[in-house]
């Protein structure tokens, strides 16, 4: 089974520039998550989709971050403009919808963003 695919793996940009990350979840997984993991911290949920609808985006800095999952499959996360404190690994995860048993989230390798 193919895993969660993310690209690029690494990105270095200057502050105030824009950047976009792409995620292709595991086939059939209805739920897609974007997490931000700052060095030395645990992953922080930015946004959660179920199919193409947003379930939770309460921790997404909406003045600069946006995300979409137009067809309910792959997703993009954008930062515009980037700040130094956005330097982090951006993780995408997916899980299937299940009744009863709790589905685990499968994670991609992440995109390491450095803002200079």
Chain contacts with other proteins (rule: CB under 8 A): 3-4, 31, 33, 35, 40-45, 48, 50, 55-56, 91, 93, 95, 101-105, 107-110
CB of 74 to other proteins, least distance (A): 17
Instruction: Using the structure block, give the residue that is written with the tokens 């899980």.
Output: 95
Confirm if 105 and 1 have CB atoms less than 8 A apart: no
CB of 56 to other proteins, least distance (A): 6
Q: Which is nearer to other proteins, 91 or 115 (CB)?
A: 91
CB of 43 to other proteins, least distance (A): 5
**DSSP E strand boundaries for 25-87:** 31-37, 44-50, 53-56, 65-68, 75-79
At 83, phi and psi to the nearest 5?
Answer: -115, 165
Q: Which is nearer to other proteins, 16 or 62 (CB)?
A: 62
Confirm if 66 and 74 have CB atoms less than 8 A apart: no
């Amino acid at each position: 089974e193919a895993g969660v695919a993310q690209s690029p793996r690494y990105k270095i940009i200057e502050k105030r520039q824009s950047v976009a990350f792409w995620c292709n979840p595991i086939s059939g997984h209805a739920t897609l998550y974007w997490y931000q993991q700052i060095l030395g911290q645990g992953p922080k949920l930015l946004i959660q989709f179920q199919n193409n609808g947003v379930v939770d985006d309460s921790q997404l800095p909406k003045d600069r971050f946006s995300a979409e999952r137009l067809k309910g499959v792959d997703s993009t996360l954008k930062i515009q403009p980037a700040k130094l404190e956005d330097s982090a690994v951006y993780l995408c995860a997916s899980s299937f919808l299940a009744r009863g048993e709790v589905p685990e989230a499968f994670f991609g390798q992440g995109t390491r963003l450095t803002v200079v």
